[in-house]
Amino acid sequence: MSTVMSGAKPRAVVLLSGGLDSATVLAIAKTQGFDAYALSVAYGQRHLIELEAAARVATQLGASAHQVMHVDLDVVGGSALTDRNIAVPQSPSTGIPVTYVPARNTLFLSLALGWAEVLGASDLFIGVNAVDYSGYPDCRPEFIQAFERLADLATRAGVEGRGFRIHAPLQYWSKKQIVEKGTELGVDFAQTVSCYSADDEGRACGRCDSCRLRVEGFIAAGIADPTRYA
């Protein structure tokens, strides 16, 4: 593999929410030969149970480290995920959903970029998916490409000629393909939580946009859904 340097594996920072997609991305990064440093962000989200799921997934898949960083996005609100006065929809929505968190992926990638510089890593992985989540502007390929350009201008590493690569391996995949790939790579999906309104035991509501897409993914893949529902 061209990115392996002098025997040591190259490092990569992998954004890990604790959901199905980012768990699969972590498994992909490992398969590609990276020493994976998993980063989760506690940003005042309702579904804190995700962070416990992220810790389990990081351990299960052999991440070299799992770092949780805290940002109090809830002080500005503006999303059903960070503001308890905005309800999480229980039926499909069109357009940009109220679960959109303003500038979330820009923030997540900024945190990943800073940690990557400290680690000497040139590779960042993020589980965005433009097909399923076309409503989120910061999941689009053009956003990811723009961030990759920004990263080279923003950092010491970029100035010194070591550019960054933002990997978004799920970008054009269906949920079916993600479930299939994760299963093939040994991801224990029972450990993951995708639901926007999971209860304190991590049981999913089965009705929100995120649950619906996940359920449909398992059905389409013909793989038994290990998710625990409330």
Residues of this chain that interact with a second copy (CB under 8 A) are: 67, 69-73, 75-78, 96, 100-107, 110-111, 113-115, 117-118, 137-138, 140, 142-143, 146-147, 149-151, 153-156, 158-159
- The distance of closest approach from Cβ of residue 171 to a second copy in the complex, given in angstroms and rounded to an integer, is 14
Q: What are 86's strand-pairing partners?
A: none
- The distance of closest approach from Cβ of residue 93 to a second copy in the complex, given in angstroms and rounded to an integer, is 13
- The distance of closest approach from Cβ of residue 13 to a second copy in the complex, given in angstroms and rounded to an integer, is 10
Give the tokens for residue 189. Answer: 């999906």
- Amino acid identity of residue 110, one-letter, is S
Give the tokens for residue 1. Answer: 């593999």
2: Cα within 13 Å, side-chain hemisphere:
0
As a whole number of angstroms, the distance between CA 37 and CA 194 comes to 21
Q: Is 139 annotated as a binding residue?
A: no
- The distance of closest approach from Cβ of residue 124 to a second copy in the complex, given in angstroms and rounded to an integer, is 11
**Measured from the CB atom, is 160 or 201 closer to a second copy?**
160
**Measured from the CB atom, is 107 or 223 closer to a second copy?**
107
- The distance of closest approach from Cβ of residue 59 to a second copy in the complex, given in angstroms and rounded to an integer, is 19
Closest CA to 28 of 184, 225, 143: 184
Q: CB of 13 within 8 A of CB of 171? A: no
Q: Is 26 annotated as a binding residue?
A: yes
As a whole number of angstroms, the distance between CA 184 and CA 227 comes to 18
**Measured from the CB atom, is 166 or 215 closer to a second copy?**
166
Q: Is 195 annotated as a binding residue?
A: yes
**Measured from the CB atom, is 140 or 212 closer to a second copy?**
140
Q: Is 211 annotated as a binding residue?
A: yes
Measured N-to-C along each axis, helices 209-221 and 175-184 cross at an angle, to the nearest 10 degrees, of: 60
Binding site members for ATP: 16-26
